[in-house]
Amino acid sequence: MPATIRLRQPDDWHVHLRDGAMLEAVVGATARQFGRAIVMPNLQPPITTVAAAQAYGERIRRALPAGSGFQPLLTAYLTETIDPREVEAGFRQGVWVACKLYPARATTNAEAGVGDLMAITPVLETMERIGMPLLIHGEVTDPEIDIFDREAVFIERHLAPLLQRHPGLKVVLEHITTSDAVDFVRSGPPQLAATITPHHLHINRNAMFRGGLRPDFYCLPVAKRELHRLALRAAATSGDPCFFLGTDSAPHARSAKESACGCAGIFNAPYAIESYAAVFEQEGALERLEAFASEHGPRFYGLPLNPGQIILERRPHAVDERLALTDAAGAPVELVPFHAGETLTWQLV
């Protein structure tokens, strides 16, 4: 059993950093571990213009701890009315690196998302031409479809036809949760990839109901049956370059999670790399953690690998039940971290 793990510095290819006080409270947790992160645009209002993205990037950089070299990689939020020229201009200027597709009303702040995929055909054609990745929240929103089937149905009804219509488009199916998604991505073309979160590697749907209703394990796409969790673990630890790290860390204040209509999202940023390391160790695949965390993502996005290193030590530590974070003005923000009350074996030094 190794006592330390040295890794090329990883990146997080899917994170929610939010804005304002929440941004100030959480950005340090991501910046401590990751060299770069793909930052989701589902703010209120969503990031749909180059100017809004530039301003958001500035706010992120201002919120970073002093001396941090962390680089936010911004994304555009696709609506049915976004102008393809705006998308292309922001990409060419290096302001944003990808577009995020939320099916309308699929999740937090997805009200302005896309109802009819055909309506964004011109944008997708532009992205295909300029090599700009499309990041997809892959769930149908049809209330007739069982929530546990929404990812698999999306793949069949929407993703497969979309890839046929746009064979050159780079696509990331985000935060996959099913063996259906694993199989689809693995057997797909090289320009198709998927991110996998730490929570979907650790929990199945029982976690939401263990001893009562547990809002801290509610996220979207919702965790599925055990067989799906096992398929995700096999995929993440397989060494296949089409699977890479994306935490989908999605902080909501504890009061917003623990309410009559609790928000979807798991805040895993504080111990994300430790959480992945636990999975890779349990699967006997620690030697493949670096490729998943630090190599497959940049290669897919056509970016250089990070030059730096991080070190994890075998040093069991308890995760706090609650984190009382403070924003830049000193105001408290209470969050429940993923793994609250558990002991993690690896610790980032």
Q: Minimum Å distance from CB 212 to Zn ion?
A: 26
Question: Is residue 244 exposed (0-12), middle (13-18) or buried (19+ Cβ within 10 Å)?
Answer: buried
| Residue 32 near residue 348, CB atoms below 8 Å | yes
One of 16, 170, 224, 229 touching ligand DOR (CB under 6 A): 16
136 interacts with ligand DOR by CB under 6 A: no
SS3 string, 263-290, reads CCCEECHHHHHHHHHHHHHHCCCHHHHH
Min CB(264)–Zn ion separation in Å: 9
For the question of residue 11 being annotated catalytic, the response is: no
Amino acid letter, residue 157: R
Which residues on adjacent β-strands are paired with residue 314? 346
Q: Cis peptide before 221, with omega less than 30 degrees from 0?
A: yes
Q: Among 193-201, 224-232, 244-252, 328-336, which window interacts with Zn ion (CB under 5 A)?
A: 244-252
220 binds, among ligand DOR, Zn ion, none (CB under 5 to 8 A by kind): ligand DOR
Q: Is 143 exposed, middle or buried (0-12, 13-18, 19+ CB in 10 A)?
A: exposed
Tell me which of 11, 12, 240, 248 is the catalytic residue.
Answer: 248
Among 54, 71, 108, 347, binds ligand DOR (CB under 6 A): 108
Report in angstroms how near the CB of residue 318 gets to ligand DOR at its nearest: 25
Asked whether the beta carbons of 250 and 267 are under 8 A apart, the reply is: yes
Q: Total binding residues for ligand DOR by CB under 6 A?
A: 10
Residue 235, contacted partner among Zn ion, ligand DOR, none, CB below 5-8 A by kind: none
- In the beta sheet, which residues pair with residue 348? 312
Interaction between residue 248 and Zn ion (CB under 5 A): yes
Residue numbers 169-208 binding ligand DOR by CB under 6 A: none
H, E, C per residue of 143-174 = CCCCHHHHHHHHHHHHHHHHHHHCCCCCEEEC
Give the amino acid at 309: Q
Instruction: Rule CB under 5 A: say whether 12 interacts with Zn ion.
Output: no
Which run of H or E residues covers position 57? Answer: helix 50-63
Q: Beta-carbon neighbour count of residue 73 at 10 Å? A: 19
Integer Cα distance of 287 and 309 in angstroms: 15
Q: Does 219 bind ligand DOR (CB under 6 A)?
A: yes
Out of 30, 33, 48, 107, name the contact with ligand DOR by CB under 6 A. 107
Q: Pick out residues in 38-77 that bind ligand DOR (CB under 6 A).
A: 42
Residue 139 lies near Zn ion (rule: CB under 5 A): no
Question: Is residue 250 at the binding interface for ligand DOR, with CB under 6 A as the rule?
Answer: yes
Q: Which is nearer to ligand DOR, 84 or 262 (CB)?
A: 262
∠ CA 163-167-168, rounded to 5°: 125
Looking at beta carbons, which residue is closest to Zn ion? 248
Instruction: Pick between residue 169 and residue 220 the one whose CB is nearest to ligand DOR.
Output: 220
Supply the minimum distance, in Å, between the C-beta of residue 181 and ligand DOR: 14
**Could you say which of ligand DOR, Zn ion, none residue 71 binds, taking C-beta under 5 to 8 angstroms by partner kind?**
none
Cβ at position 264, least distance to ligand DOR in Å? 4
Nearest to 280 by CA among 270, 268, 292: 292
- Positions touching ligand DOR (CB under 6 A) are 16, 42, 107-108, 137, 219-220, 250, 264-265
- Positions touching Zn ion (CB under 5 A) are 248
Instruction: Give catalytic residue positions.
Output: 248
